[in-house]
Amino acid sequence: MLRYHAELALRALRRNVLLTVLMIAAIAVGVGSAMSVLAVLRGLSSDPIPSKSQRLFGVWIDNWGPGSPPDSENQLSYLDAIALMRAHPGLRQTAMYGVALYVTPAAVDVTPFSVAGRAVYADFFKMFEAPFQTGAVWNIHEEEDKANVVVVGATLAAKLFPSGDAVGQTIVLNQHNYRIVGVLSRWNFQPRIYDLTPGYFQDTEDVFLPFPTAIDRKMNTYGSMLCPGPDPSGWTAILNSECRWLQFWTELPTPMSAGYEGFLRGYAAEQERLGRFHWSTRLRLLNSRDWVAAQKMVPDEIRLSTLVGFSFLLVCLVNASGLMLAKFGGRIGELSVRRALGASKMNIFAQCLAEAAVIGIAGGLLGLVLASLGIVIERGILREDYAPLVRVDTGVVLITMGLALLSAICVGVYPAWGASRAPPAWQLKAQ
């Protein structure tokens, strides 16, 4: 029966090509415009790690008291980060910060160059599902001993060691030798929620080294450091200060965070008893999805353009519905003959909806082309860090086709219902 209705729909659509083309174009333009702006919204608000988004939590504790500026409420002091690491109440956890590194290649004819680095604990890689190409992360003994070991990205490994495996090789960073223990596969973790201070959509780092090693080497942060007073003088003063410059994430065994939050409140209460805090401490414990929402990474302009795009889609659908009314209205005589020959109202209704569905599929295919063109244009005008996130992926294709088909059926319901209710006797008599 479905094939029968589809064949009738194709025959009917070929009888009035101009009207069919106009309906397809109306749906395609509306869907294309809506999907091009929706792709931007999806790219900027996407969940970077959906498999763990309910179990990964960013941690913040107020160590400044009332009047703490909002732009500092995503980092911890060294004192708090180390205290949380030692307590280790979660399944996995890591304090971390960005560092600037300079690579001195073994080849004398190659100029030293800078790379982005990150000091982390070993748990970082499992927490954020970093994919290893070869090798593995350093072990706990190397971490505790502040060993000179690193994990590097695939691009850097291929650049330094194009003819062989980089694992076991030596890399010179800031004039110190480090042994490569692992090479990551190409990994672009976006948005980079574990550290939003340099920007929301920065590239993933090239080098990862143990946090204790970086502290021992007195590596300054290559990110934001906010202090409640004058900047401390010297590395020891920084470590003992209330300056916020570290990020801290924990992975819990379940999405329920009440136990960990209770631990944080207990820690804050202890700091009050010790005289370090003199206020009712605020804290923040948000999973990765909520962290993305709290940081308001999607500009209001993007949300507004999405609303405008779907409003334009609605206008296009109203026009398409009008064209369908005109098309079905012009075929009342034909449909009445079918009714008189025994076709039920449901048969006529199903045939008209089949025509709408065919129009929707055609409109979706054309809309996908228009959406792809719109995305190309948007990538050219968006900020440099936003553009790579906006692309045509499987989700965009499925949503586009589904939206086009649903839109066509929705706008075709009323015209189809009206056509199926035409009195056959009156129409035949009029003929």
pLDDT at 376: 80
Give residue-wise pLDDT tens across range 342-390.
Answer: 556 677 677 777 777 777 778 888 888 888 888 888 777 766 666 666 7
Query: Do 218 and 339 fall into the same domain?
Result: no
**CB-based contact 59:249 (threshold 8 Å):** yes
- Residues 215-233, mean pLDDT to the nearest whole number: 89
Residue 395 and residue 328: Cα distance in Å, rounded? 34
Task: Give the residue with greater pLDDT, 158 vs 258.
Answer: 158
The more confidently predicted of residues 281 and 114 is 114
Residue 151, exposed/middle/buried by CB under 10 A (0-12, 13-18, 19+)?
A: buried
- Taking residue 259's Cβ as centre, other Cβ atoms within 10 Å add up to 12
List the domain range (segments joined by +) for residue 398: 2-45+299-430
Asked if residue 141 is part of any domain, the answer here is yes
On whether residue 91 sits in a domain, the answer given is: yes
Output the CA–CA distances (angstroms, integers) from residue 218 to 116, 236, 238, 327, 410, in the order listed. 16, 9, 10, 76, 64
Question: Is residue 314 a part of any domain in this protein?
Answer: yes
The torsion angles phi and psi of 256, rounded to 5 degrees, stand at: -75, 125
Q: Are residues 244 and 391 in the same domain?
A: no
Q: What would the mean pLDDT of 409-420 be, rounded to a whole number?
A: 66
Pick the last residue of a domain from 259, 276, 294: 294
Q: What tokens were used for 182?
A: 């692992």
- Cα(31)–Cα(33) distance, rounded to whole angstroms? 6
- Domain co-membership, 121 together with 206: yes
Residues 284 and 405 in one domain: no
What is the pLDDT confidence band of residue 421, given thresholds at 50, 70 and 90? Answer: low
Residue where a domain terminates, one of 294, 317, 352: 294
Q: What's the half-sphere exposure (Cβ side, CA atoms, 13 Å) at 114?
A: 4
Shared-domain flag, residues 352 and 380: yes
Instruction: Give pLDDT, residue 357.
Output: 76
For residues 35 and 113, state if they share a domain.
no
Helix pair 332-340, 300-329: axis angle to 10 deg: 60
Are both 211 and 309 inside the same structural domain? no
How many independent structural domains does the chain possess? 2
> 190 with 216, same domain?
yes
Supply the pLDDT for residue 177. Answer: 94
Check residue 419 and give its pLDDT. 58
Predicted confidence (pLDDT) per residue in 24-76, tens digit = 888 888 888 888 888 877 777 777 788 888 899 999 998 888 776 665 668 89
Enter the tokens of residue 36. Answer: 């091009």
CA distance 248 to 123: 12
pLDDT at 72: 60
Same domain? For 136 and 257 the reply is yes
CA dist list (Å): 261 to 55, 195, 267, 351, 380: 13, 21, 10, 59, 44
**Model pLDDT for residues 81-100, shown as the tens digit of each residue:** 999 999 988 899 999 999 99
Whether 418 is covered by a domain: the verdict is: yes
Does one domain contain both 103 and 239?
A: yes
Lookup: tokens for 250: 């924990």
Same domain, 233 and 378: no
Q: Is residue 113's pLDDT more than 70?
A: yes
How many Cβ atoms from other residues are within 10 Å of residue 14's Cβ? 9
* Residue of 103, 152, 97, 148 whose CA lies nearest to 121: 97
Question: Which of the two residues, 150 and 40, has the higher pLDDT score?
Answer: 150
- The average confidence (pLDDT) of the chain is 81
Does 426 map to a domain? Answer: yes
Q: Is residue 51 part of a domain?
A: no
- 393 pLDDT higher than 80: no
| Residue 224 confidence (pLDDT) above 80 | yes
50 assigned to some structural domain: no
Among candidates 268, 270, 271, which has minimal Cα distance to 281? Answer: 268
User: How many percent of the chain have pLDDT more than 70?
Assistant: 81
The predicted pLDDT at position 331 comes to: 60
Q: How far apart are CA 38 and CA 49, in angstroms?
A: 20
What pLDDT is attached to residue 388? 66
Helix-helix angle 300-329:17-44, to 10 degrees:
160
Inter-residue contact 200 to 291 (CB < 8 Å): no
* C-alpha distance across the termini of the chain, in Å: 29
CB atoms inside a 10 Å sphere around CB 379? 18
pLDDT at 279: 81
Q: pLDDT-based confidence at 337, cuts 50/70/90? A: low
What average pLDDT score do residues 293-298 get? 70
pLDDT digits (tens, 9 = 90+) for 163-185: 888 999 999 999 999 999 999 99
Same domain, 260 and 361: no
DSSP 8-state code for residue 388: G
Q: Is residue 14 part of a domain?
A: yes
Taking only Cα atoms into account, the Rg of the chain, rounded to an integer number of angstroms, comes to: 30
The pLDDT assigned to 25 comes to: 86
Mean pLDDT in residue range 403-431? 64
pLDDT at 36: 83
Are 117 and 101 in contact, with CB atoms under 8 Å apart?
Answer: yes
* End residue of a domain, out of 255, 275, 294: 294
